[in-house]
């Protein structure tokens, strides 16, 4: 029987342990009256509310089934909830399994912008290459994406920085990804739920705040660490006067990796010298601003070559460039820390916008033209065996 991880409270359970919530519908009841709403203590505690949340009653039945009748009113419900936090689980979540992807980085790295651009790329251009269908799994995710997409691509407004430990962090964005795969027996489809968490930069500034606010990192199946190149003193000095609104230095990337590594080891009970198996995608953002510092013909200035598969040669060559840049900027501190903490890690470079913002809160005047935004996620999908990898001579 499938073991799943709740995308909200990260409890692990067998699908049979899932519970159901009454629909509170008067149609088809024994008495003609719907079940009344009642205080849901577990959901109230999860949300941190002082006032009890009133919801339909939760009851136990065989959670491996997609529906069950309420034992009080007899109305059949398809709403299944996590038995630990009582959040409604998206339909089909338990049958396809969820891969939790944590998106972390300093508050200036553009994580919220990146998620919106990434999903658009996966739904459109990249999705076409892979024949993939990508859609929100719940109304909350759909509403968040539609608003963020309209603000970014139609209104030309960049999203505000995510506040620390906000409600948007409590609830992730959930997408169902279905990708066709050809094999010896013909074509079949592989599906997975991708659960994206956008962590506020302030929540990663210390080991204490990380353990308190982003403990879900211990349950993540993959981590994308966004690295802002403008945080490095060498880049800051080299581009001074050429880039507006230079960010202030924050927690260094190697320190963030060390904090995350220690959190995962503590939560999983791993010894301090054991590398962590969770794949880590170290992703240099805003590569468009680095053009004056890059060699002519740099891989970071041209689109990636993933055409229905992960092109490993292209990924590795771009990763080598990023690794070399970081070596110059921090004397290899990030590279060494990643090697010490994560058995599987790779380096990426991307630009979510493709150009400099027209203002502090505005998208580029020439429009949004992302470059290599999909690379880190495609690498993770290959680690999850959802897409194929083609290797070539380097």
Higher pLDDT, 170 or 30: 30
The rounded distance, in Å, linking the Cα atoms of 170 and 15 is 22
Q: How far is CA 213 from the centre of its chain?
A: 16
Q: What is the pLDDT of residue 201?
A: 55
Output the average pLDDT for the chain. 88
Segments making up each domain of the chain, as ranges: 3-89, 97-390
Tell me the average pLDDT across 292-316: 93
Q: What is the pLDDT of residue 330?
A: 94
pTM summary value: 0.89
Q: What average pLDDT score do residues 292-310 get?
A: 93
Taking residues 235-259, report their average pLDDT. Answer: 79
Q: How far is residue 351's CA from residue 332's CA, in Å, rounded to a whole number?
A: 22
pLDDT score at 245: 66
Please provide the CATH number assigned to the domain covering 97-390.
Answer: 3.40.50.300
Residue 94, pLDDT above cutoff 80: yes
Q: Per residue in 195-241, pLDDT tens?
A: 887 766 555 555 555 554 566 788 889 999 999 998 898 888 888 76
pLDDT value at residue 240: 76
Nearest to 253 by CA among 100, 112, 108: 108
Lowest-pLDDT range, 4-8, 50-54, 246-250?
A: 246-250
Range ranked top by mean pLDDT from 97-111, 156-170, 209-223, 337-351 = 337-351
Q: What is the pLDDT of residues 102-112, one digit of tens each?
A: 888 877 778 88
| Percent of the chain at pLDDT exceeding 90 | 59
The position carrying tokens 């949340």 is 53
Q: Which pLDDT score is estimated for 25?
A: 87
Confidence of residue 2 (pLDDT cuts 50, 70, 90): confident
| pLDDT above 90 (res 116) | yes
Task: Please check the confidence at residue 308 and state whether its pLDDT lies above 80.
Answer: yes
Tell me the per-residue pLDDT of 3-28, one tens digit each, with 9 for 90 and over: 888 988 888 899 999 999 999 988 87
So what's the pLDDT on residue 169? 52
User: Could you tell me the pLDDT band of residue 162, with boundaries at 50, 70 and 90?
Assistant: low
Q: 258 and 341 in contact (C-beta within 8 Å)?
A: yes
């Amino acid at each position: 029987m499938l073991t799943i991880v709740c995308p909200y409270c990260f409890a692990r359970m067998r699908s049979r342990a899932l519970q159901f919530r009454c629909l509170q519908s008067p149609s088809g009841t024994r008495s003609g009256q719907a079940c009344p709403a009642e205080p849901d203590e577990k959901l109230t505690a999860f949300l941190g509310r002082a006032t009890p949340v009133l919801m339909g009653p939760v009851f136990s039945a065989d959670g491996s089934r997609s529906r069950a009748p309420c034992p009080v009113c007899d109305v059949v419900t398809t709403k299944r909830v996590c038995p630990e936090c009582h959040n409604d689980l998206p339909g089909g979540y338990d049958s396809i399994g969820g891969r939790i992807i944590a998106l972390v980085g300093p508050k200036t790295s553009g994580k919220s912008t990146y998620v919106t651009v990434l999903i658009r790329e996966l739904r459109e251009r990249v999705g076409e290459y892979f024949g993939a269908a990508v859609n929100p799994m719940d109304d909350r995710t759909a509403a968040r994406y539609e608003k963020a997409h309209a603000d970014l691509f139609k209104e030309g407004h960049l999203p505000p920085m995510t506040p620390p430990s906000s409600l948007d962090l409590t609830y992730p964005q959930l997408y169902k990804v279905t990708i066709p795969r050809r094999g010896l027996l013909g074509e079949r489809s592989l599906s997975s739920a991708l659960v994206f968490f956008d962590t506020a930069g302030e929540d990663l500034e210390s080991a204490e705040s990380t353990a308190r606010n982003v403990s879900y990192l211990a349950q993540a199946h993959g981590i994308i660490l966004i690295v802002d190149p403008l945080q490095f003193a060498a880049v800051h000095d080299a581009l001074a006067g050429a880039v507006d609104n230079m960010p202030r230095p924050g927690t260094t990337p190697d320190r963030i990796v060390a904090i995350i590594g220690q959190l995962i080891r503590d939560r999983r009970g791993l010894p301090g010298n054991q590398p962590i198996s969770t794949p880590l995608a170290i992703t240099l953002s805003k590569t468009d601003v680095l053009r004056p510092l890059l060699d002519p013909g740099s891989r970071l200035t041209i689109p990636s070559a993933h055409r229905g598969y992960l092109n490993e040669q292209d990924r590795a060559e771009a990763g080598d460039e990023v690794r070399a840049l970081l070596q110059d900027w921090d004397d290899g501190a990030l590279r060494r820390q990643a090697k010490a903490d994560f058995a599987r890690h790779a380096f990426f470079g991307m630009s979510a916008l493709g150009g400099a913002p027209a203002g502090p809160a505005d998208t580029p005047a020439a429009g949004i033209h992302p470059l290599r935004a999909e690379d880190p996620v495609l690498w993770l999908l290959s680690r999850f065996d959802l897409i194929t990898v083609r290797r070539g001579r380097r």
